[in-house]
Amino acid sequence: MSGGASALPAAAVAVGLISQNLGAALAKNLFPIVGVEGAVAMRIAFSAILLGVLLRPWRGLSIRDVWPDLLLYGAALGVMNLCIYQAFKLIPIGVAVAIEVLGPLAVVLAATRRLADHVWTLLAAAGLYLLLRDAWSGAALDPRGVAFALAAAGCWALYIVFGKRVSGRLSGGRAVAIGMIVATMLTAPLAVPRVDAAMFLPATLALGVAVAVLSSALPYLLEMFALRRLPSRVFGLLVSSAPAVAAVAGFLVLRETLSVTQWLAVGCVAIASAGAATWVRRDQPGTAVEGGPDA
């Protein structure tokens, strides 16, 4: 692909990353109003509605053989969002995303057989060690936030595993839209205790829709556009900057600052993701950082 031809899809990936992480930063403004569970339920429900209207996944749908994996896929999506939003509440967004990205990175690296590829595993482990050291020392990070981010990483790995099973029988767009519906059924009941008049104020609903558009609908559509036009490794290389983009978004929107150690850890994870996306064999399952509606 020529440089000119690849510039537009590359720009789409960049805009999607910025949008996704700005949405994550804005979501923290919902926490004092509707709680973490309410913010997750609003984001996923509005995303399900938007993707349902745009993609109409029910057309000609037959899920008799795929529904168990669809349920697990949607459940992983819902729990992933709950965990990462709990992490956002307790630790900086850039740190939370750096830890969460370890999930899809592990999916890629677990299948490799080449010794050279494990360099990226060691680099990612070094980044995680630096973050855990901060949490264990109590100097900067809340250990609960780190634990929630690690749980989100595990859910993201499961999301990829079940997503690949589902995508073999349903198109990716249809699977994501239906997965959002399943996730809504899981997360909406958890928000019931936080339901009050404040949730239905126009400003609150507008913020919830903005979070859904910025965090899920727009990034997903941009990624679909880019994936059709970019080699998977180039896409993975671009998306590997997600932790750094998240850290910048957290600073600009929420004035979250990272220590030198935390920036070093974020850099280790980003470089490990970029390296895996670039060098791991083409037959590995996915890129180092797969596009996901998690942050």
- pLDDT tens for each residue of 67-85: 788 888 899 999 999 999 9
Predicted pLDDT of residue 87: 94
pLDDT score of 290: 44
- Per cent of the chain over pLDDT 90 is 21
Q: Which residues contact 251 (CB under 8 A, 6 or more apart)?
A: 94, 257, 258
Average pLDDT over residues 176-190: 88
3-class secondary-structure state, position 17: helix
Alpha-carbon distances, residue 245 vs 114, 146, 249, 270 (angstroms): 30, 19, 6, 10
pLDDT tier, 61 (very low <50, low <70, confident <90, very high otherwise): low
Dihedral Cα 76, 173, 202, 34, nearest 10 deg: 10
143 vs 224, which has greater pLDDT? 143
The predicted structure's pLDDT at residue 293: 47
- The token pair at 24 is 């994550």
Q: Which residue in 157, 199, 197 sits closest to 45, CA to CA? A: 199
| Percent of the chain surpassing pLDDT 70 | 83
- Cβ atoms < 10 Å from Cβ of 279: 15
Q: Note whether 90 and 145 are within 8 A (CB).
A: yes
**pTM greater than 0.75 (yes/no):** yes
Residue 117: the pLDDT is 72
